[in-house]
């Protein structure tokens, strides 16, 4: 988890964004430890927590520009209307500016391999899935996040392609092994 930093309690999103961009420019990508998700378009989403439980930010970084997508403020219910900082869960779209409305539509992107993982977890036995397939997908996700943190987006894409190819031997082994085991169990004399 990224280290906590106290940025005080800004009054609006623009102010937050200006402060955060200034702070983020001073950080290296190595500091951005908690990568949430990423898309294929050179866009990196990540989140950092400031002031402990007070704020949880999700950032969007594209082509060197950093913007805040979502700010969760668990204390928003007890704060006054003027003090609130874009609580994502609250539907107050009509009262918000265009940049604030964007935060309401944000949904984190699944890490790569999640769909394949869901499919194979149904197709394969639990034992085969957890032993042969899940670790390969987990490694792919780990390497993918690591490459993005270092800013190597092309390498990250290659990791996803390679990861999907590498899963094939594992699930073929698991599938064939499962069948052979079943045949041996039911037809052996």
Going from the C-alpha of 5 to that of each of 35, 68, 114, 179, the distances in angstroms are 17, 16, 32, 54
d(CA 55, CA 46) in angstroms, rounded, equals: 14
**Is residue 173 part of the contact set for other proteins (CB under 8 A)?**
yes
3-state secondary structure of 35: strand
* Stretch near other proteins under the rule CB under 8 A, chosen from 22-30, 57-65, 68-76, 144-152: 144-152
Helix, strand, coil percentages in the chain from 3-state DSSP, rounded to 5: 55, 15, 30
Strands 65-72 and 55-62: what pairing?
A: antiparallel
Site string for other proteins, 35-54 (x = CB under 8 A): xxx-----------------
Among 1, 26, 98, 107, binds other proteins (CB under 8 A): 1
Among 166, 176, 180, 183, binds other proteins (CB under 8 A): 166
Name residues whose C-beta falls within 8 Å of residue 174's C-beta, 6 or more positions apart in sequence: 124, 125, 128, 129, 131, 132, 133
* Stretch near other proteins under the rule CB under 8 A, chosen from 6-14, 54-62, 87-95, 167-175: 167-175
* Stretch near other proteins under the rule CB under 8 A, chosen from 31-39, 55-63, 69-77, 83-91: 31-39
**Is residue 69 part of the contact set for other proteins (CB under 8 A)?**
no
User: Interaction with other proteins in 82-141: which residues (CB under 8 A)?
Assistant: 111, 113-114, 117, 131-132, 134-139, 141
User: Judged by CB, which is closer to other proteins: 14, or 110?
Assistant: 110
* Side-chain-facing half-sphere of 162: CA atoms under 13 Å: 11
Interface residues with other proteins (CB under 8 A) are 1, 33-37, 111, 113-114, 117, 131-132, 134-139, 141-146, 162, 165-166, 168-170, 173
């Amino acid at each position: 988890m990224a280290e906590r930093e106290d940025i005080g309690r800004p009054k609006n999103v623009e102010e937050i964004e200006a402060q955060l961009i200034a702070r983020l420019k001073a950080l290296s990508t190595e500091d951005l430890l908690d990568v949430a998700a990423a898309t294929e378009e050179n866009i990196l989403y990540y989140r950092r927590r400031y002031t402990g439980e007070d704020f949880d930010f999700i950032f969007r970084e594209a082509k060197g520009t950093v913007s805040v997508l979502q700010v969760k403020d668990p204390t928003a219910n007890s704060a006054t209307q003027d003090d609130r900082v874009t609580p994502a869960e609250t539907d107050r779209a009509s009262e918000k500016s265009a940049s604030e409305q964007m935060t309401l539509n944000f949904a984190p992107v699944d890490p790569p391999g999640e769909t394949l993982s869901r499919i194979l977890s149904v197709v394969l036995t639990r034992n085969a899935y957890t032993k042969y397939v899940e670790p390969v997908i987990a490694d792919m996700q780990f390497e993918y996040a690591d490459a993005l943190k270092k800013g190597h987006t092309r390498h990250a894409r290659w990791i996803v392609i390679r990861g999907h190819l590498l899963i094939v031997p594992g699930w073929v082994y698991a599938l064939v092994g499962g069948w052979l085991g079943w045949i041996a169990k039911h037809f052996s004399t």
